[in-house]
Structure 1
Amino acid sequence: MTPAFRFGHASARNWRMAAKASLEALEPLPAGANLGFVYFSEHYSGEAEALLGWLVDRTGVRDWVGSVGIGVIATGTEYLEEPALALMVGAFPPDSFQVFSGASMPPRAGARTRSGAHAADFAVVHGDPGSDDMPGLIEDMSHKVESGFLVGGLSSSRMRTLQIANGVLHGGLSGVVFSSDIRVATRLTQGCAPLRAGAGEAPRVHRVTKCERNIIVLLDGRPALDVFREDVGDDLARDLNRAAHLILAGLPIPASDTGDYLVRNLVGIDTRNRLIAIGAPVEPGMPIMFCRRGGAAAREDLQRMLKSIALALGGEPAAGLYYSCLGRGANMFGAKSAEMQMIRDELGNFPMVGFFANGEISHDRLYGYTGVLTLFV
Structure 2
Amino acid sequence: MSPFRYGHAAAADWPLAAAACLAQIGQVPEQANLGFLYASDEFADELGDLLDWLRDATGVQQWVGSVGIGICATGVEYYERPAIAVMLGEFPADAFRVFPNLSQDFGAFDVSDRDWIQTHPPYLGLVHGDPANEDIESLIRQLAQRTTSGFLVGGLTSSRGSAVGIANTLNEGGLSGVLFSERVALMTRLSQGCSPIGPHRTITEAQRNILVKLDGQPALDVFKEDIGETLAQDLGSLGGYIFAGLPIKGSDTGDYLVRNLLGIDPEHGLLAIGDKVESGREIMFCRRDAETAREDLDRMLRAIQQRLSHPPRGGIYISCLGRGVNLFGPDSAELKQIQAALGDFPLVGFYANGEISQDRLYGYTGVLILFTE
Q: Please classify the TM superposition score into its range, dividing by the shorter chain length.
A: over 0.9
Q: Tell me how far apart the structure 2 counterparts of residues 274 and 50 of structure 1 sit (CA, whole Å).
A: 53
- The aligned residue for residue 137 of structure 2 is 135
1:288 to 283, 288, 299: 283
Alignment partner, residue 243 of structure 1: 238
Equivalent pair of 2:324/2:332 in contact (CA under 8 Å)? yes
Q: Which residue of 2 is the match for residue 49 of structure 1?
A: 48
- Structure 1 position 98, deviation (Å): 0.9
Instruction: Evaluate the alpha carbon distance shift between residue 277 and residue 144 of structure 1 in structure 2; reply closer, same or farther with a 3 A threshold.
Output: same
* Residue matched to 2:336: 341
Matched residue pairs, number?
365
The answer on 1:161 being equivalent to 2:163 is: yes
How large is the RMSD of aligned CA atoms in angstroms?
1.5
Q: How far apart in 2 are the matches of 1:330 and 1:75?
A: 15
Residue number in structure 2 paired with 1:324: 319
CA drift at 1:119: 3.4
- The answer to whether the 8 Å contact 1:109/1:120 transfers is no
**Which of the numbers 264, 267, 274 marks the counterpart of 1:272?**
267
CA distances 1:36-72 after superposition (whole Å, capped 9, x unpaired): 0000001111111110000000000000011010001
Structure 1 residue 4: Cα displacement: 4.6
**Residue of structure 2 equivalent to 1:177:** 179
- Match 2:114 to one of 108, 126, 131: 108
Question: What residue is the counterpart of 2:105 in the other structure?
Answer: none
Question: For the Cα contact (< 8 Å) 1:329–1:336, is it kept in 2?
Answer: no
User: Distance in 2 between the 1:110 and 1:10 partners?
Assistant: 36
Q: TM-score, normalised by structure 2?
A: 0.95
Contact 1:107 1:120 (C-alpha < 8 Å) held by counterparts = no
Contact 1:37 1:88 in 2 (8 A): yes
Distance verdict in 2 for CA 1:217–1:3, change over 3 Å: farther
Cα 1:151–1:52 change in 2 (3 A) is: same
Are 1:208 and 1:283, in contact at CA under 8 Å, matched by a contact in 2? yes
Between the aligned partners of 1:160 and 1:244, the Cα distance in structure 2 is 27
Aligned to 2:193: 191
Deviations 1:150-188 (A, max 9, x none): 000111101000011111121111101111001111111
Query: TM-score by structure 1 length?
Result: 0.94
Residues 5, 318 of structure 1: 8 Å contact kept: yes
Q: Show the counterpart of 2:223.
A: 228
Mapped contact 1:125–1:152 kept (Cα < 8 A): yes
Instruction: Tell me which amino acid in the other structure corresponds to 1:178.
Output: F
Offset at 1:112?
A: 4.9
Among all aligned residue pairs of Structure 1 and Structure 2, give the percentage whose two residues are the same amino acid: 54
SS for the counterpart of 1:34 is strand
1:58 aligns with 2:60: no
Q: Secondary structure at the match of 1:52?
A: helix
Distance 1:334 1:47 in 2: 31
Cα separation, 2, equivalents of 1:148 and 1:67 = 23
Residue 307 of structure 1 aligns to which amino acid in structure 2?
R
1:287 counterpart letter in structure 2: E
Q: How many angstroms apart in 1 are the aligned matches of 2:5 and 2:336?
A: 19
Other structure's SS at 1:121 match: strand
Residues of 1 paired with 2:240 and 2:354: CA distance? 18
Secondary structure class of the residue paired with 2:267: coil
Residue 254 in structure 1 maps to residue 249 in structure 2 = yes
Q: Hey, what's the Cα distance between the residues in 2 that align with 1:252 and 1:373?
A: 21
Secondary structure in 1 aligned to 2:32? coil
SS in 2 for 1:132: coil
The 3-state SS of whatever aligns with 2:93 is coil
Q: CA deviation at 1:109?
A: 8.3
Matches of 1:70 and 1:111, distance apart in 2: 34
Q: Spell out, residue by residue over 1:273-314, the C-alpha distance to the aligned partner (whole angstroms, 9 max, x if none).
A: 111111101100100000010211211111111111111223
Gaps of 5+ in 1: 197-203
1:30 matched residue in structure 2? 29
> Out of 302, 308, 311, which is 1:307 matched to?
302
- 2:123 corresponds to which residue? 121
The SS at the match of 2:326 is helix
* Counterpart contact for 1:248–1:266, Cα < 8 Å: yes
Contact 1:72 1:79 in 2 (8 A): yes
Q: 2: CA distance between counterparts of 1:54 and 1:275? A: 54
SS in 2 for 1:144: coil
- In the TM superposition, what is the alpha-carbon distance from 1:31 to its structure 2 partner? 3.0
Q: CA–CA distance in 1 between the matches of 2:142 and 2:300?
A: 27
The one-character-per-residue Cα deviations of 1:228-285 (angstroms, maximum 9, x if unpaired) are: 1111111101010122331100000111111110000010111111111111011001
Alpha-carbon distance in 1 for matches of 2:49, 2:241: 42
For the residues of structure 2 that align with 1:161 and 1:111, how far apart are their CA atoms? Answer: 28
In the aligned structure 2, how far is the partner of 1:324 from the partner of 1:336? Answer: 16
Structure 2: stretches of 5+ with no match in the other structure: 103-107
Secondary structure at the aligned position of 1:23 is classed as helix
Amino acid aligned to 1:55? L
SS across alignment from 1:227? helix
